Structures are given as C-alpha cells and as structure tokens.
Structure 1
Amino acid sequence: MFKEFIESDYTPSNPGSVKVHYLRISVTDRCNERCIYCFPQDLGFLSKKGDQLSFEEMHAVVIHGAIKHGFRDFRITGGEPLVRKGTLPFIQRLTRTEGVSSVRLSTNGTLLGSYARELKEAQIAGINVSLDTLDPSLYKKITGGDIEPVLEGIEECRKVGIKPIKLNTVLLRGINEDEILSLIDYAAERNLVIRFIELMPLSYTGKISRANFLSVYELKRRLEKLDTLEPLDTRLGQGPAKYFRMHSRNAIVGFIGALSDFHFCDNCNKMRLTSDGFIRPCLGNHLEIDIKGVLRPSPDPSGLYKVFESALQKKPPEHSFRETYQPGRAMTAIGG
C-alpha cells in the first residue's frame, strides 16, 4: 500500500535479537484534544468505564508481569494521561517500585503547567510533548485545542528542571511543512530535543497518501541542504529515533520513520499495555492479548507472568505498516 510512494536510503535487513525491557502503559483512551491524525470523529471506539484497568491492576501487571520478565523502563501514555484522575499518584508509586529504572511521560502538554512541579518531585525521567506547529491558528486546525497552555507547560517543566524534554512533531505534507525550521529553532533556543515522526496508518482508512505523507528521509535531505547533520551515536532514551546535531542551529533533531526506515524494527525493545487491559506486542500489528482474565476479580501473579511470557513469545519481528494495513483501533485507544 505504501511502498509505491516511500523513498528511503535504507535497505531491508533481518531484525536482530533485542532484549524487550520497555513497557508503554496507556492509562486512558480519553483526550482533551482531537488531533486529525490520532483521534477519530466517531467516538464509538471509547472503552466503557468498567473495561478500564484500575491503577491497582496496572501496577499488578508491572510487578507480576513486566518486572518479572526484565522490564525496567516504563512510559505513561494515553489518550492524554493527565486527564485521568489518579495518574500522578500512579506515576509517584511507579517510580518508587523496586525494579523500575525509569518512568517517562508522553503528553499533549495542555495540563503540564499544573503538574510540572509534582512530576519533578516524582522523579519523572523525561517528558515527550506533542507539538506540530507554533502557529496558534494552525495548532487549532490540527488539534482542535489552544497552544498557549502547551507552551506555558513546557516553560514550567523547564523552570522546575525536568530533563529531558522532547518535542514530537508529526509530519503532515501541505499542513505543517513550513513550520519545521521554526520548531527546530524553538527547541534549540530552549535546549530541547525535537523529533519528527512519519504519519502512520492508525486512525483512518486511506489517511496516508502522497498528498499528506512526508517521510523523514525526504525531510532529512531537505535539512542537509541547509546545515550539516552530524549523526549522534548515543540513544537519547528508549525509543527508535535516530538523532543528529544541526551545527549552525545547534539543534538536536531526531527522525522516527516507521515506514521509510527499513531497519525500524531491528532494535524494538517495547510492548504496550492498553487502558482497557490488552498487551499489544507491536504497534503495527493487530495482535492483542487480553490480560483482564488474570486481573479480575483479583490479580493472579502466576497468571500474569504466563500471559506476559506468551505476549513476548508472540512479538512479531516486524510491523505490517508497509503492507495492506488497515487500522483496527485508533492510536488514542492503543496508547501513544
């Protein structure tokens, strides 16, 4: 479906064997924004209240499933995780859990101003903030929300000393192409890292086309005409981004190319826990394992261990985005 319009400087390879140690925990499928690439207009996908895992159940998954299998790094996602009451105490509990090395947060940033100091005190290991433009009117067009609380939240996180703060920008050809250099400069001036992410087929059938898909490969070529991009050997976190330093702008730029990078899955170290109780071994594969049966009416430690073991064994070597992939669940339901 996508091969015909993907340009890439990568060649296919056989994925390597990587230790999976990173769990992304979606605490809610609700969000206070309506991003055009993430949140469907039809709200029928939203889970019922009774299907949502409690924070106690999520913690049981962590201690009896994830940690027992060597997971050490965790990210709290949504939806928008901070819209769910109790998310901050859950983060505080998670960072104090024996066996947990790091807890990070992905957010749209709209509520960060209210939680920044408490997140710092909770020893959050980093925050990723979605930011696709600096233009207020375009921001509203893309997200349905207002940009000011987001920018204020970023500044508050900087003020209290949260590091690192990374900006995530989804590439939308014909929509936010002209915003790229402004976003890079904004990040560089504040010593933030910015990552550019290819649009993925996770919300609408037919959403990706020549008209709106912009590959990180194409963007990288554009930036190389303007500046020297020096590859950085170090991984800045647990994700798949490949990082470069732009010399004249003194900016650190990351590229996340699930479609154009044919090595994208080689070093995948993560699985996902959805807010409604499914382990998803791969974002770009429909396979999900229902974990609620070993959580209710009360957590079964042995059962949780076995379900996690099964999920790890079923983790596919590569995603299916480049084939005839059709989204089964919206991104906000799977977890960012």
Structure 2
Amino acid sequence: MDSFGRTIDYLRISVTDRCNERCLYCRPHQYKGWIAPGENLSDDDLVRIVRVAAGLGFRKFRLTGGEPLLRPGLVELVRRMASIPGVECIGLSTNGVKLAPLAADLRRAGLRTVNVSLDALDPALYHRITGGRLGPVLEGIQAAVRAGFERVKLNTVLMRHVNESEIWPLIRFSAEHQLPLRLIELMPLTSRDVLTPDNFLSVEEVMERLRREDELVPAPELRLGHGPARYYRLVRTGALVGFIGAMTQTHFCDNCNKMRLTADGRLRPCLGHHDEINLHEALRASDDESLRRLFFHALAIKPREHEFRSCYQPGRPMTAIGG
C-alpha cells in the first residue's frame, strides 16, 4: 500500500520509446529526444525487474511504448515474463499496425489482453491524427479477436474539432465487433498547449451527446482490466463504452493502482508528476535488494493525485515515458 492506502499492484512497462506513428497528443513535432542505446533496458533487465516487482506484490503488467511491437523478440519476452511466479496478467497497449502477424504468437506466449489505439475510422482523418494507415490497424484488431485474447479493447483520445465526428462511427464499430471502447480525455503529455478550449473535449460533454441519441446506463459491476475507466452501456446501440476523465473527474486518482517503468530504466510513480527513480545502478548489483529498496522508495513518494490540472508542463513527452 502507498501512503494514501491504495494497493499498488500494476506496473506498466515501456519497452521502447520508438514509434511507427506520430499521434498529435503523444509525440511533439520534430521530437529528437530518443533514448541513447546504452540506456535501453535489456530483456534480462526487464525480466529481473518483473521478478522483483512480482515478489513485492505486483500482479498485473502491461507492455507499452512508444510502440511495443517494434521491439525485437517481444514474444519471447512475454513468454519469460509469464513464467515468473506471481505474474497474473500481462497486457499490451499498441497502435495495432504490426499486430496482425504477431497476435497468435503473443497469445500462445502468455499475453492475455490487448488495447488498440483507434482515434478515427475515416482513413484520411486517421492519417491526419497519427501519420499512419488505418488498414493495418483494422487487420490487427481482427487478428487479435481471432487469436482469442481474454479481452481486446479500443482506445480513443477525444479531440474537439478533430475526431468528435468519429465518436458515433467508433461506437457503432465497437458494438458490431463486441469490443469495449474507451473514450479518453486529452492530457498535457506533449506540452501544456494541447489543453485549449479549441481542442479539449470532456467526457461529460460526450456523455451528454450520447444521451441525446441513446440511453446510457451505468455498469458499475464491470471492471474490464485494471485502469480507471467507468463503463456504461448504450441500450439501443449495444455498445459498451468506458470513460477516462483524468482532467475533469476530481476523484480520478483515488483508486490509482499503478506505477510506470520507462524504456530507459526509470521507475515513475505517477504519469502526471515529474518524479522518476533511475534503476540502472541497482541493476548492476549482483543481488536484488537495491531494486527492492527503490520500489519501496517509489511507493513512498507516489503522490495523492496527478498535477495535470495545475498548469503541468511535461518534462518529456508520452512516447518517452510510456503509455
């Protein structure tokens, strides 16, 4: 437990800061702050960190990036992680571009859940938001469903005047394929400037729009995964929609259960806070006691809530921190 009585048992692990897309809300234009080769964690480092974390009570792990499927040997890394005592669930967050050829192998290796970013179904708009192509992403989603993952979820970041016209098409798509859709408020993860009235769209406003067209029924019994989404059913549409309102929901952090590990080996207690703990020196030690102490230090300094509503200016963007 942390200082505020929350059970912290979920570690999100960035395996690379590189990405094959350039989403508007994740990587600043002309970003050059790539991790130096010597700072990247090896597979052995990651497996050791997961083993220590599992020994301390972490049970859920998610592989992120950048784009995690760009990391060579990810299937074998999943297999090694899944064999560690105490690891109950391994998930993956991906843009889906490279998912189709890897989905079945990842499932067999022990990956249990997949979250796919899908910010638009219009190919031209998808390209405007991400710089990529929609087709491979849809193929990746279909392959993930065929592979039999326990759960495949779709993530959409809400952007006023950008993809608000895509909300209903995405809801209908999720209902047709029986996949939960999560609508996520824009957060200041590239710069504070992204949070202007011209581009910020709150989950409350979106919920009001949905209620004009359908009945929105709370589903408090549903907890799909380990994150903060609040789920509702759309009665006529048949969709299951989760809302993540980090900016507008004042009690958003009350049940936070996670820490993050960046691809360059920093343990980050909170996404919306600058504190990071460098694990490299501890990884050079022959025993694991130094790593354990750093996890406890991270637990001790984990803040009550994020600073996104306090004129937060990120020190480095989401692609460098991990999703």
The alignment's TM-score, normalised by the length of structure 1, stands at: 0.93
Q: 1:89-108 CA distances to partner (integer Å, 9 max, x unpaired)? A: 11111112111000000000
Structure 1 segments (4+ residues) deviating >6 Å: none
CA distance in 1, matches of 2:208, 2:192: 29
The aligned residue for residue 49 of structure 2 is 61
Distance 1:229 1:92 in 2: 40
Q: Does 1:31 align with 2:19?
A: yes
Q: How many residues align?
A: 320
Is 1:138 matched with 2:125?
A: yes
SS of 2:32's equivalent in the other structure is helix
Measured against aligned partners, the alpha-carbon deviations of 1:171-192 in whole angstroms (never above 9, x if no partner) come to 0000100000000010111110
Equivalent in 202, 212, 223 of residue 215 of structure 1: 202
| TM-score (norm: length of structure 2) | 0.97
CA–CA separation in structure 2 for the residues paired with 1:335 and 1:209: 23
Asked if the contact 1:37–1:199 (Cα under 8 Å) also holds between the matched residues in 2, the reply is yes
Does the 8 A contact of 1:40 with 1:330 survive in 2? Answer: yes
Query: In the alignment, which residue of structure 2 is the partner of 1:181?
Result: 168
5+ residue gaps in structure 2?
none
Deviations 1:8-34 (A, max 9, x none): xxxxxxx96220000000000000001
For 1:43, which of 28, 31, 35 is the aligned residue? 31
Name which of 302, 308, 313 aligns with 1:315.
302
Deviation at 1:272, TM superposition (A): 0.3
Matching of residue 256 in structure 1 with residue 260 in structure 2? no
Match runs of 1:284-303 below 5 Å: 284-296=272-284, 298=285, 300-303=287-290
2:68 aligned with 1:81: yes
1:244 matched to 2:232? The reply is: yes
- Deviations along 1:267-296, whole A, 9 cap, x unmatched? 000000001010000000001011111012
Letter in 2 for 1:141: R
- Unaligned residue ranges in structure 1 (runs of 5+): 1-14
Larger relative contact order, structure 1 or 2 (CA cutoff 8 Å, min sep 6) = 1
Residues 21-50 of structure 1 show CA distances to partners (whole Å, capped at 9, x for unaligned) of 000000000000011110122332211111
Q: Distance in 1 between matches of 2:258 and 2:301?
A: 13
CA distance in 2, matches of 1:63, 1:153: 30
CA-to-partner distance for each residue in 1:139-187, whole Å, 9 max, x for gaps?
Answer: 1100000010000111111122223110000000001000000000101
Q: Whole-Å Cα distance in 1 between the matches of residues 296 and 224 of structure 2? A: 28
